[in-house]
Amino acid sequence: MKTKIGKYLVSVLVVVAVTGCSGAPQPHLDGEALLKTKCAGCHNLDMPPKTYKDEKAPPMMAVAFHVKDFMKVDSPSDKKPKFIDFFKDYVLHPDAKKSFCDKESLASYGLMPSQEGKVTKAEVGAIAEYVFDHYDQNAFMKLMKEQARFDALPKGEQIATKNGCLTCHGKTKRKAAPAFTAIAKKSPAEIKKVILNGSKGRWKGFERMTMPAFKGRISEARIDTLIDWMQHGLHVSH
Ligand code: HEC
Ligand code: HEC
């Protein structure tokens, strides 16, 4: 009992020390969460960004890439601290003269309103650090390549991938669930019924796993496309 209370007191003291008075170490700020609550009202955060007709501000990815490209640094290691400093200054004191935005975009969006009072300098620092790391050109190129690979897949396989079918089913090999090529021998109507309603215990060797029901989660038209791919797109001889 005594030790429990002792432990409790220690943890209270630690919390006070961390969050208490200024001068004490700052609590960790979650840059990603702050970006979402403080900046997403105007900036689109997707990578790659979807662009909207009447967007209020450039997408955050565009901002990050732009600032990284145009910022002058003496050595690559200066880039991140300078990026963070620019954010800390610009978000609280926006100014057309400081902006890396081209004149045309600046005119169409209008200058960013100062966020003073809505976000603290320390919070902007945490946001900037996250933005610098997250909107990374190499990560973006990788994403684009993955997207291109996905776009090149047959429509039915895209639907299967997006809905997680292939985490349980192999296309040609049995995994946690029977292979699609083995399932494909059944009639389209039978297959469709199972996809809509789920199933359990029908396949030998998979009794402990459940096939979830997808009714309402995938449109019937998409299920038909999926089945067509399963039966004609997997290029296996039956
Ligand atoms: C009310 C809308 C609004 C909000 C909220 C907002 N911004 Fe902006 N922001 C803009 C607009 C508009 C621009 C483009 C014009 C400009 O550069 O001033 C912009 C541009 C920027 C730039 C680019 C400056 C440059 O020179 O390219 C940065 C950096 C930026 N915003 C960071 C942030 C961060 C971080 C937050 C959240 C703390 C935030 N913004 C919240 C509207 C907003
Ligand atoms: C959580 C794992 C899991 C996921 C995700 C999953 N399945 Fe299944 N699926 C199974 C299992 C296990 C079975 C075998 C069920 C049985 O034995 O009754 C199965 C069986 C099937 C069958 C054949 C049933 C029969 O009786 O012949 C079809 C068709 C099927 N799944 C399609 C799909 C499709 C399409 C998706 C994605 C939309 C999907 N599954 C997602 C686990 C899964």
Q: Which CATH architecture has domain 26-141?
A: Orthogonal Bundle (1.10)
Is residue 15's pLDDT more than 50?
no
Cα 200 to ligand 2 centroid, rounded to whole Å: 9
Is residue 215's pLDDT more than 60?
yes
pLDDT in the model for residue 166 = 97
Mutation probe of ligand 1 site: the residue of 112, 121, 130 with most atoms within 8 A of C-beta: 112
Q: Which CATH architecture has domain 154-232?
A: Orthogonal Bundle (1.10)
Is residue 10's pLDDT more than 50?
no
Cα 144 to ligand 1 centroid, rounded to whole Å: 25
Start-end ranges of CATH 1.10.760.10 in the chain? Answer: 154-232
The full DSSP string for the chain is: -HHHHHHHHHHHHHHHHHHSSBTBPPPPP-HHHHHHHHTTTTS---SSPPP-TT-SS--HHHHHHHHHHH---SSGGGHHHHHHHHHHHHHHS--TTT--S-HHHHHHH-PPPP-BTTB-HHHHHHHHHHHHHHS-HHHHHHHHHHHHHHHTS-HHHHHHHHTTHHHHB-SSS-SSB--HHHHTTS-HHHHHHHHHH-B-S-STT-TT--B---BTTB-HHHHHHHHHHHHHTS----
pTM greater than 0.75: no
